[in-house]
A and B are shown apart, each in its own frame.
Chain A
């Protein structure tokens, strides 16, 4: 397995695109900065939605269903930016990513948190009224919110720690 990953990384490194990314020293920091902008959008939206579900934050603010309606499309758009900039960094330095346990942990947590988010969005869409009132909201909502927030924080930690995996 490790051998296969190494071969795969070597092949990516040998491509013309990877060579070009490696030779231009602005490519990686620029893509990391854009990655930071994208994660800010996702994290900002996720914090607003999940703290709203936890009953923290401006009670006078928008309802859960309106919050999801306006913020969810931005989460998905920012995810495209994150995927593209993440791909640039992986193509530029494949072993830096594949060799880091934090990278694999991050790749594991992303589908989990996205499934939770999509599941939440579906449940709210089916019955807005039930979700908008804290009295009728399913008890599991707070658990989902806490787990989602924990996963997003964990993903950001893992992302930063990829850069420290090789000392």
Chain B
């Protein structure tokens, strides 16, 4: 099956039709979209707390490892909700979204955010106990925090722009 055929079959599915409002549920799309907003708000809100701590700006009296353990479970649960709601929204107009510049940029920025997180997690974070309360945190941690904030802001901007360009 070619990519075109795959996108077409996604778009022709009954799920996609329902999300588009073809079955008369025209409120389905905005409701799922709002769930996506709630999920992304919690993803960004919770990861920002950790990133600002990595920069040494907020929660300076909490060790990095403890703050991560407190905030990151929210990030992951919310991220899963965002993936599910986002996938459902995607089906409604799979073809349009797939070839939309803002949509493609959004995924590029998310991939970079994931890469940044992986580099930090398997790099500087392995010795976190050595610098858990050190202020300012080591340069690698500050860099990871700054990159994460910038990349997630870019993801949110691109996401909002998809709605204006499709």
Within 8 A of A (CB), among B13-55: 30, 33-34, 37-38, 40-46, 48-49
Contact of A29 among B33, B62, B160 (CB under 8 A): B160
Q: Are A60 and B34 in contact (CB under 8 A)?
A: no
Using CB atoms and an 8 Å cutoff, list the residues of chain B in contact with chain A: 30, 33-34, 37-38, 40-46, 48-49, 58-59, 62, 66, 69-71, 73-74, 153, 156-157, 160-161, 164
Contact B70 A40 (CB under 8 A): no
The 7 closest A-B pairs by CB, nearest first: A44-B45, A61-B70, A40-B44, A43-B41, A40-B41, A40-B45, A160-B34
A40 contact set on B, CB distance < 8 A: 40-45, 48, 156
Q: Which residues of A contact B (CB under 8 A)?
A: 29-30, 32-33, 36-37, 39-45, 47-48, 57-58, 60-62, 70, 74, 153, 156-157, 160-161, 163-164
Q: Which of A36, A37, A44 contacts B42 (CB 8 A)?
A: A44
In the bound complex, do residue B58 and residue A33 qualify as a contact, i.e. CB atoms below 8 Å apart?
A: no
- Looking at chain B's contact residues, the main secondary structure is helix
A60 contacts B44, CB within 8 Å?
Answer: no
Set of chain B residues within 8 Å of A30, measured between Cβ atoms? 157
Across-interface contacts of B38 in A (CB, < 8 A): 43, 153, 156
A-B contact count (CB 8 A): 85
Would A37 and B62 count as touching, CB distance under 8 A? Answer: no
Cβ–Cβ contact B160 & A160, under 8 A: no
Contacts A58-B70, A60-B66 given; does A47 touch B45 at CB 8 Å = yes
Q: Is the CB of A44 within 8 A of B41?
A: yes
CB distance from B51 to the nearest CB of A (A): 12
Residues A156 and B37 in contact, CB atoms below 8 Å apart = yes
Can you give 9 A-B contacts (C-beta < 8 A)? A32-B160, A33-B157, A37-B44, A37-B156, A39-B37, A40-B42, A40-B44, A44-B46, A58-B70
CB-CB < 8 A to B49: which residues of A? 44, 48
Tell whether, in the assembled complex, residue B156 and residue A36 are in contact, meaning their CB atoms are under 8 Å apart. yes
Q: How far is the CA of A61 from the CA of B63 in the complex (A)?
A: 11
| Contact indicator A161/B73 (Cβ below 8 Å) | no
Q: CB-CB < 8 A to B157: which residues of A?
A: 30, 33
Q: CB distance A47 to B42 under 8 Å?
A: yes
User: Contacts A58-B70, A60-B66 known; A160 to B30 CB distance under 8 Å?
Assistant: yes
A36-B156, A36-B160 are contacts. A161–B30 as well, Cβ < 8 Å? yes
Question: Residues of B contacting A47 with CB < 8 Å?
Answer: 42, 45-46, 74
Considering the chains assembled together, what is the distance between the CA atoms of A36 and B42 in angstroms?
11
Instruction: Check A48/B59 contact, CB under 8 A, given A37-B153, A156-B38.
Output: no
**Residues of A contacting B161 with CB < 8 Å?**
29, 33
Residues of A contacting B43 in the complex (Cβ-Cβ under 8 angstroms):
40
How many Å lie between the Cα of A165 and that of B43 in the bound state?
A: 27
